[in-house]
Amino acid sequence: MKALILHQLGDIRIEDTAVPDPGENEVLVAVRAAGICGSDIPRAYKTGAYFYPLILGHEFSGIVESIGAGADSRWRGKRVGVFPLIPCRTCMPCQKKLYEMCRRYSYLGSRANGGFAEYVAVPAENLIELAEDISYEQAAMMEPMAVAVHAIRKAGIDTYADSAGKTDAAARIAVCGLGTIGLLLVQFLLDIRTQQGIGTDHIFVIGNKEFQKQSVLSMGIRESCYIDSTKSDVGFRLSELTEDAGVDVFFECVGKNETICMAVDNTAPAGRIVLTGNPASDIRLSQSVYWKILRNQLTIAGTWNSSFTGSREDDWHYVCDRLLQKAVMPERLITHRYTLENIGQGFEIMRDKTQDYVKIMGIM
């Protein structure tokens, strides 16, 4: 089969390699679509991988081709999305079904071979069946979509319109950083407000590129609620928009000192900050920022990955539901499509930032 193989730092090639044999409780998935994640770029060009050679890719979907020993034969021929984290299922978090916090996990595309290949071996327990109305491209974006949903739930914003007892969905919300996760957060927040019959006036988005602005405006964000961080004082603008109150929930999707400090400065007393962005470097908070956290009694939550338990209530099943309802349309964020043979061009675009992009998709 053909696969995109990382041999050493910066050495990525499309090569022929053996089709994997599905092991015990595994299935063989014929990949139909695979997206490049922002985390794939440092893995390929900067920080390196856990082992070499490695087939990259953890955002993918496909169809089950064959079944390994012990796996349910009913999976054969099913269209599937794939949860890429492989939990140990024995550690303390796993015993609580908090698989995303497993202490001894493996991970497709980083700690095990992933989806930029014609075929990949996947634990059957990591599959989610796709309805015919969900495309392979949409399913390849379920992983970042579930990450966005997980962050929203960490913020205390309930994703279901008939739920009570959590943060009011009409609260003032800021989303800082409009990469794939930030833009998906905006899509889901708008969907929640639509479910509840609430307007978009109190969702504020902070970006630094014109194409990001056009993306959120096309989703339904008011132009007055978009803040260009390169052209305005974000704190002053948010203060204007919230009548000096600050926001109730601040999603920080960048992972830099200045944006984390911005979140602390602009979150209302008793508000909540959800740290979603992978750290670009060491994070250091000044004494004055720390004092603001204490005196404003802010809640700061970390979020990572997503919940996949097989339950209808987990993040992945919620994403499936919203896709079936056509309430969110992640495919609108796909800016580039490449065949597997040419997907390396997408990696280079993201590495060198030679073009505007959101999601770059490989079509098999």
Question: What CATH number should be reported for the domain holding residue 198?
Answer: 3.40.50.720
Instruction: For residue 250, list its beta bridge partners.
Output: 174, 273
Q: How many CA atoms lie within 13 A of 223 on its CB side?
A: 2
Check residue 169 and give its pLDDT: 55
Give the chain's domain count: 2
Residue 263 and residue 160: Cα distance in Å, rounded?
A: 26
Residues 344, 285 within the same domain: no
Residues 296, 166 within the same domain: yes
- Residue 123 has phi, psi (to 5 degrees) of -60, 135
Sign of the CA dihedral running 114, 118, 122, 124: positive
Which DSSP state fits 19? P
Instruction: State how beta strands 173-176 and 247-252 pair.
Output: parallel
Check residue 196 and give its pLDDT: 81
Low-confidence residues in the chain, pLDDT < 50: 162-166
Which domain range does residue 353 map to? 2-140+329-363
Check residue 66 and give its pLDDT: 98
Residues 58, 97 within the same domain: yes
Residues 134, 160 within the same domain: no
Residues 340, 253 within the same domain: no
Check residue 165 and give its pLDDT: 40
Residues 103, 232 within the same domain: no
Residues 336, 191 within the same domain: no
Residues 114, 241 within the same domain: no
Query: Nearest to residue 319, comparing CAs of 188, 203, 190?
Result: 188
- Residue 177 has phi, psi (to 5 degrees) of 105, 115
pLDDT in tens, 96-116: 999 999 999 999 999 999 999
Residues 153, 261 within the same domain: yes
Check residue 198 and give its pLDDT: 81
